[in-house]
Structure formats: C-alpha cells, structure tokens
C-alpha cells in the first residue's frame, strides 16, 4: 500500500473501456466502433463528445487511443487559435490512425474550424511560408479527431457534419458516483469509510470530478489530523470548512436561495445579480446551474422563483443560520 503521507499523483484512468463505470450507451457505441475499425482495418471514426464539464470526455478519448494502441495528442480549442498553430498540431502524429483530441473544440476560431474540417476530410493542411505569400499544401497521417464540447451550437455545421460518431454524455446517478469513488480509492490505496461514498455522491451534482475533489478534500482533512482512514467525521469537518450544505451547495447558491425565499413574487435576474454583487452571466451560467439540476428553482419569463423543494431547503438553511 502506498505511503499515505507521500505526495499525491494523478490517479490513472480506468485501464480499459470495460472498467468504465456509467455512460453505458456511450461506452457500448465506442466498443462497436472499435470492433468495426479493427475488422475493416480503418481509422476509428471522427468522434464528438457532448456534455457538461467533469463527465469524463477526456478520459474516454484517452481510452479509445489506448484500445487502438495509437498515438494520442491533446490540444485545447483556446490555444489552437490560428490556422498555423492548428496545422502544427495536426502534423504532430507520426503514425497512421493516431488520435488527436481537442478539448473545448467550440473555442476554435471560424478560420480554424474551416481548416480543421478540410483536414478531417482530405488529410491535408495548408501552411503559410514565412516571409512570403506562398502556401504549402502538406499531407497529414490518417488520423482520428476526437472533439469535446459543452457548446456544440458554436461549431460550424460543416465541422459538426464531419463527425461520424456523436456521443452525448449524461449526468451520473449517485450509485454510479459512489462506485467511481470506490474505484478511485482502490487505485490510490487509500482507506475510506464506506459511509463517505454515498454522502459525497449526493453532493456531487452527478459529476465525478466534483465528487473526486470532495473526496480529496476529506483525505487532506484526515491527513492534517494524522489519520490514515478517512471516516465520516473527516467528511463532515471538510463539508463545514467548505461551507457546503446537505446538497453540496456553496455559500453563493445558499445566499441565492435565501434571497428568493424573501420574495413574494418572481425576482428578475438583474435584481438578483445586483443583490449578490455578481454579473447576469455568472448568475445564470454558474450559480443557477446546480440549483436547476436539483430542482430548487424555476426560471420564468417574469423572473426566478423557488420550487416547493427549494422553499423547504431555504427554510432549513434559515433554521441552521439561526442555530449558529
């Protein structure tokens, strides 16, 4: 067993697709595509993963490359910001059927998206020569492009159409999150009380990345106290330190609920943003997302209101605040 006091290293991904927990429909489609690729001796089809952050799009992309025994190259849409940089990325692989992964692919500028779908279709890039107006046409190896995006509507339609396999990732159930945490603990060689897994899972919003982050925080709490077993008490102290409630909501989300609970009519977004001293964008795209996922609020044309579940939770928050 690893020394619990040793520095942490990033845990490995699941070793094969068979070890992936959850996302069964996506995993099964990837397996079929892999079998067909081997049977026909063809590159794996260009694939696009859709879904919110933290659901494992990058991990699945790496597993596809591993199953293919292929090179894996990774880039970010934000950094592949010019056709020249994108061309350099597309020319990096040296072996056929390599896997090129672009995270947040929707962040590519329009010119880069156009160059990319030409490369996907023709396996060529157009490279400008320095100090001249000449353009050199260069061939790439036959590659598989795997893209990941939270905003597919920002992709050019011709680029979206080049993807032969489009996989929509869904949020995980609490049972699946708990199973992922148990798998991660075995990989790390940690000792964690069984009661912690479900308690973390219900605070994860169906997102493994959030659950793993909370698990790591509880581990740090245990180690700060000299423990080697992460027990339920460590988790409760961690939750208190991070000001998380029973759903995993932070102080901003809790404040939002309390503000709505004081209103007798729908509250406009601008009013809420002003009271919380934040922007309309942060309110609608960050703070509200988890509240909507938990069905605690409703978005109406007239403004925001609490659901019945939201009203009940706001009452609990007020009672806890009064006790404190």
Instruction: Give 104-131 as a 3 state SS string.
Output: CHHHCCHHHHHHHHHHHHHCEEEEECCC
pLDDT given for residue 12 in this prediction: 63
CATH of domain 174-241: 1.10.8.60
Pick the CATH number of 18-168 from 1.10.10.10, 3.40.640.10, 3.40.50.720, 3.40.50.300: 3.40.50.300
Span of 8-12, 158-162, 318-322 with lowest mean pLDDT: 8-12
Three-class SS state of 272 = helix
Per-residue pLDDT reduced to its tens digit, 29-76: 999 999 999 999 999 999 999 999 999 999 999 999 999 999 999 999
Of the candidates 189, 248, 243, which has an alpha carbon nearest to the alpha carbon of residue 219? 189
Cα–Cα distances in Å, from 153 out to 50, 105, 136, 167, 227?
Answer: 11, 11, 32, 15, 48
156: its two tokens: 């050019």
- The answer to whether residue 127 scores a pLDDT higher than 90 is no
Q: Looking at the domain covering 251-314, what would its CATH class be?
A: mainly alpha
Sequence ranges of the domains in the chain: 18-168, 174-241, 251-314
Q: Exposed/middle/buried for 144, CB within 10 Å: 0-12, 13-18, 19+?
A: buried
pLDDT given for residue 2 in this prediction: 44
18-168 and 251-314 in the same fold: no
Residues sharing a CB contact under 8 Å with residue 308, sequence separation 6 or more, in sequence order: none
Q: What average pLDDT does the segment 232-243 reach?
A: 96
pLDDT given for residue 119 in this prediction: 93
C-alpha angle 99-100-102 in degrees, rounded to nearest 5 = 140
- The answer to whether residue 164 scores a pLDDT higher than 90 is yes
Per-residue pLDDT reduced to its tens digit, 81-121: 998 899 999 999 999 999 999 999 999 999 999 999 999 99
- The answer to whether residue 269 scores a pLDDT higher than 50 is yes
């Amino acid at each position: 067993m690893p020394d619990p006091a040793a520095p942490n290293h990033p845990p490995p991904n699941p070793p094969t697709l068979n070890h992936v927990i959850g996302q069964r429909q996506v995993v099964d489609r990837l397996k079929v595509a892999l079998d067909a690729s081997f049977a026909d001796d063809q590159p794996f089809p260009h694939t696009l993963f859709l879904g919110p952050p933290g659901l494992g799009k990058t991990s699945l992309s790496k597993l596809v490359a591993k199953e293919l025994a292929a090179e894996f190259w990774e880039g970010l849409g934000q950094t592949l910001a010019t056709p020249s940089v994108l061309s350099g990325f597309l020319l990096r692989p040296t072996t056929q059927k390599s896997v090129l992964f672009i995270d947040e692919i929707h962040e590519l500028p329009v010119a880069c998206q156009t160059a990319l779908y030409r490369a996907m279709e023709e396996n060529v890039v157009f490279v400008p020569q320095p100090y001249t107006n000449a353009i050199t046409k260069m061939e790439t190896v036959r590659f598989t492009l795997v893209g990941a995006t939270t905003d597919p509507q920002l992709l050019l339609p011709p680029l979206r159409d080049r993807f032969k396999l489009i996989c929509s990732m869904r949020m995980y159930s609490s049972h699946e999150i708990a199973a992922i945490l148990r798998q991660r603990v075995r990989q790390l060689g940690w000792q964690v009380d069984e009661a912690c897994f479900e308690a973390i899972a219900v605070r994860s919003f169906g997102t493994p990345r959030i659950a793993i982050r909370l698990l790591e925080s509880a581990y740090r709490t245990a180690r700060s106290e000299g423990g080697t077993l992460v027990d339920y008490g460590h988790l409760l102290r961690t939750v208190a330190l991070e000001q998380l409630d029973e759903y995993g909501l932070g102080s901003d989300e809790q404040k939002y609920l309390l503000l709505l609970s004081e209103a007798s009519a729908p509250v406009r977004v601008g009013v809420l943003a002003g009271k919380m001293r934040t922007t309309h964008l942060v309110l609608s795209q960050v703070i509200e997302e988890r509240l909507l996922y938990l069905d605690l609020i409703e978005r109406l044309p007239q403004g925001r209101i609490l659901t019945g579940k939201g009203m009940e939770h706001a009452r609990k928050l007020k009672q806890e605040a009064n006790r404190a």
